[in-house]
Structure 1
Amino acid sequence: MRKRVGILISGRGSNMAALVRAAAQPGYPAEIAIVISHKADAPGLQVAREMGIEAVAIAARMPEFEVEADRLLHERGVEIVCLAGFMRLLSTGFVERWRDRLLNVHPSLLPAFPGLDAQAQALAAGVKIAGCTVHLVRPEMDTGPILMQAAVPVLPDDSVDTLSIRIIRREHEIYPAALARLARGEVRIDGEIAHLADVARDDRMIVPNP
């Protein structure tokens, strides 16, 4: 049986669309059951509907949003929740209810550059390698066991926009891959470290394209 997945978004939902496309492929171990946003005008809601996915806006403040989202997720039989550009901090209670079943993607090689404007942080720090991280969510912002990371070189003439474009392309690769591993039951948590099954083909770190 494929795992049922709910996705929370705030904006255009490009990572959401990447997950939906992956779930449409034969043999993918998860299916997208519902997309939820706290913003009625989030462009990603219409994108989801056009892709054949139920999409719902919950125009409420926290914690009312969480209560209604939790209800919808359980009604749809959701087993895994993915945050895809969801720009609200979730409460400890919500995170713990979905512990080790709540995924996020962040545009840096965590634990470096958590929070907003990670690409700008990377450029300001002068790093030569940036990237993205898929991790299980914990109550503290941008923390939790890391499932996969992808490295992206920082070029001498990079701006926030050009670096962001290259990073998000890698997000679209590793987010579906990490969700698949979790849905197949190939993730084991030891303390705050995630171990992926079958080390011989372990793809937690995806190196940059030449």
Structure 2
Amino acid sequence: MKRVAILISGGGSNMVALVRSMTGDHPARPVLVASNDPAASGLTRARDLGVATAAVDHRPYGADREGFEAALLDPILAARPDILCLAGFMRVLTPDFVKRFEGRMLNIHPSLLPKYPGLHTHRRAIEAGDTEAGCTVHEVTAELDAGPILGQARVPVEPGDSEDTLAARVLVAEHRLYPAVLRRFAEGDRRPLLLG
């Protein structure tokens, strides 16, 4: 049984989708939900789902990313995860942190990578006149949003879409895609999964 730790920064809706999927014959189980924000509502949701939680506030560390990550590593390493899932974790991790979990850290990004890495993905898709948007699950590497793609789900861009309406439809797709990719990844299957 694979042990999964999930990092969040906010409400944790993708975390909830992942945790709820890891039941029955699923090859993994959640062992920790950690956040860089002690007030993240996702921590309460995780506790309500019976998952251990930890929080390390990044703000006192200022520009000392290594110091913050060293503190964050304590609860993560104590949980002994086989897989680390970033689910709305809004901190850019240092190459040293990424290297420690190389080949076993996943992230979900709200665009069809390699299009629109970074922020404001929905606005950029609308401004570009794209007819479809979506989300991508990828392995985390030192280069932002550039690791091997493990799955994508496509969502049409509708006439009159705003950032918010498109983001809401993409989020529904994220909640389908991330659990499906995690299950396959935990089984050792890294072939990209494509959902409509």
Q: Does residue 1:205 correspond to 2:194, yes or no?
A: yes
* Alignment map for 1:81-100 (pairs within 5 Å): 81-100=84-103
1:102 is matched with which residue?
105
Residue type matched to 2:24 in 1?
A: P
- Offset from partner CA, 1:122-177 (integer Å, 9 cap, x none): 01111001000000011111110000000000000111111011101110111011
Please, which of 132, 137, 145 is the counterpart of residue 135 of structure 2? Answer: 132
Residue type matched to 2:15 in 1?
A: M
* Alignment map for 1:35-184 (pairs within 5 Å): 35-60=33-58, 61=61, 62-184=65-187
Following the alignment from structure 1 to structure 2, what is the Cα–Cα distance between the partners of residues 46 and 98? 26
Aligned residues: 191
C-alpha contact (below 8 Å) 2:54/2:75 kept by paired residues: no
1:192 is matched with which residue?
none
1:6 is matched with which residue?
5
Following the alignment from structure 1 to structure 2, what is the Cα–Cα distance between the partners of residues 3 and 65? 26
Following the alignment from structure 2 to structure 1, what is the Cα–Cα distance between the partners of residues 68 and 187? 29
SS in 2 for 1:63: helix
CA RMSD in angstroms comes to: 1.1
Following the alignment from structure 2 to structure 1, what is the Cα–Cα distance between the partners of residues 82 and 166? 33
Among all aligned residue pairs of Structure 1 and Structure 2, give the percentage whose two residues are the same amino acid. 47
SS in 2 for 1:150: strand
C-alpha contact (below 8 Å) 2:136/2:152 kept by paired residues: yes
Q: Which runs of 5+ in 1 are unaligned?
A: 188-195, 197-202
Relative to the length of structure 1, the TM-score reads 0.88
